[in-house]
Structures are given as C-alpha cells and as structure tokens.
Amino acid sequence: MGKASEAMTQTIEPRVVHLTTRTGISVRRTLPTRQLRTIGAWCFLDHYGPTEDAGSMSVAAHPHVGLQTVSWLFSGQLEHRDSVSSIQVVNPGELNLMTAGVGIAHSELSEQSAAPLHGVQLWVVLPESARHQAPHFEHHEDLPDFEHNGARVRVLVGRLLGHESPAATYSPLVGAQITLGDDPVSMPREQGFEYGLLPVDNDVVANGTPGPTTNLFNIDDDSEIITISGPAASRVMLLGGEQFTEPMVMWWNFIGRNHDEVEQMRSEWEAGNQRFAAFEDRIGGRIPAPELPNVPLKSR
C-alpha cells in the first residue's frame, strides 16, 4: 500500500473506464493503479468530463461498504439519492460526502445544466475504528476558501494551512482544490503525509516535474514543500494523508479486510438484504455485482 518505492515525483497516466452500459460517460482513473494503490486513505480517483451530454451520468442504485465517497464538481450538476433517504443536488464548489460504514446504496444522475458536466469522484477507505458505523450522508456548501501565494484554495475535507473543513473524516487527510494565480504556489508538507496532485484544466509543473492534464502526480516523500506552477486560473486537486497501513481488500464497490468479508457483502447485495435498503430514484433498477474472481482476494 501507499507510495511507490521511488523517492521522486512521478506522473501516473489514467486508464479509461466506461462506467456502465446505461451511461454515455467514460472516466479517467488514476487511483488505484499498479504504481500507486493509495495516497493516505484516498484509495480511488475518477476524473470525468467536461461533456455537453446532459444525460451522460446515469448510474443506477449500487452498494458501498467500508468507505466514504467524495463527489466534487467543476461544472454542471449531479443529483445524489441513497438508501438513508438523502436526496441532494451538488453544484460546483459544494461537497457531497457519503459515509458507507456497514453498508449503503446510492445512485447518481446528471441534471440538465447550462454548463458541461465535469468533476471528480473520490473514495476514502475507513479505518477499523470507523468502518462498522451506521451509514450517513453530508452536504457542505460553506467550505474554507482563502488566498495563498496568489492562488485560491478551497478545502473539501481535512485541514490545510490552518483552515479546516466541517466534513467528517476518520484518519489524518486533506483534499483541496487549488486555483493557480500568475505565480507559482508553494505550501509546506504535513509531516508523515503522502501527497498527490491532479491537474484539471492544463499541464502543470509540480516540484520541478512537468505533467499533462489528467495525469496524477505522486509527490516525492523527501520534499519539504510542494510547489505548483502553470497557467493562471488552472485548477489542481491536492490529495494527502498519513499512509494507510491496515489490511484492505478493495473489490468492485466494497472495501473489507479479507476475501470472506467481501464475498458476504456481494452476497447480501445480490440477495436484496436490508443492509442495502431499496429507495426510489428517476433512473430505476439496480446494478448487479460482477462475479468474484476464481482465486481468493488478497489484502493490498
């Protein structure tokens, strides 16, 4: 788990994944990869859009266990519905945070909007102390937003430069959107944190390493500061956190600690167990779980 062994800033190319047969959208996935499994407790990163297709995101009911989902938009609108009765449209600059705990189901539907749909979907693995809690959902509009070195910083989760998000977290981590100004922006690293950067709009340079848009920067552990430069108004997602050292089996939409746990999660979803209560949405139906592999899943 954690960072790759090389003590250098590297860039990771995304792989393109088509979400479902019902949606026209493909996503660029940079976490997890063979080179990098996690950044702190961040364990999943999809970047999608921009797309003018208003119906591009239509993901029917599907389950989650053992993680948090973080939905963040740069433009467009998405409606979230879930099995704990949440119905919430998220707009750019707002946070939808769903803590799955022991189990939840949800769906996502893009709304008709004057702006193209463009955003990221992230997951955070829950530690043992938090993964058995009841599921819940949060929506936050009033997030820390401040200027630093001429850049604009908005903190989604965690704490950065003395500013802390109200969103619930269960391990030391940070997620923020940085909008660059005319000059490079530098910030100190939190001791013991791993860091990654995702350019959203333009190619940038991070700690002297150039990287194209949509590639994920895996920041050198030895650097004391993180310096980012690029065209003015370019947006960059900053992810960081303490290395996640607990056993973790991540398969489909589930995170457990061993194969048997994940197999039980899958069986209960397929059986319509109350762990994943039914709910109504405008999409209809539910996504069946894929078949488990023929070999036991192993912890990363």
| 126-136 pLDDT tens trace | 999 999 999 99
Position 24 confidence tier, pLDDT thresholds 50, 70, 90: low
Residue 7's pLDDT is what?
45
Mean pLDDT, to the nearest integer, of 81-97? 98
Q: pLDDT at position 221, please?
A: 77
Summary mean pLDDT of the chain: 93
Q: What is the C-alpha to C-alpha distance for residues 261 and 256, in angstroms, rounded to an integer? A: 6
Contact (Cβ atoms closer than 8 angstroms) between residue 33 and residue 257: no
Mean pLDDT value of segment 108-132: 93
Mean pLDDT, range 264-286, rounded to an integer: 96
> Is the pLDDT score of 18 beyond 90?
no
pLDDT above 90 coverage of the chain, percent: 86
What pTM value is reported for the model?
0.94
Q: What fold, for 10-242?
A: Jelly Rolls (2.60.120)
230-to-169, 223, 236 alpha-carbon distances in Å = 30, 19, 10
Q: Where are the domains of the chain?
A: 10-242
CA quadruple 34, 230, 27, 159: dihedral sign: positive
pLDDT digits (tens, 9 = 90+) for 212-240: 998 999 997 788 899 999 999 999 999 99
The pLDDT value given to residue 1: 41
For a pLDDT cut of 70, what percent of the chain falls above it? 95
Among 289, 297, 299, smallest CA distance to 248 is for 299
Q: Which residues contact 135 (CB under 8 A, 6 or more apart)?
A: 82, 83, 84, 98, 99, 100, 101, 102, 103, 104
Predicted pLDDT at 19: 75
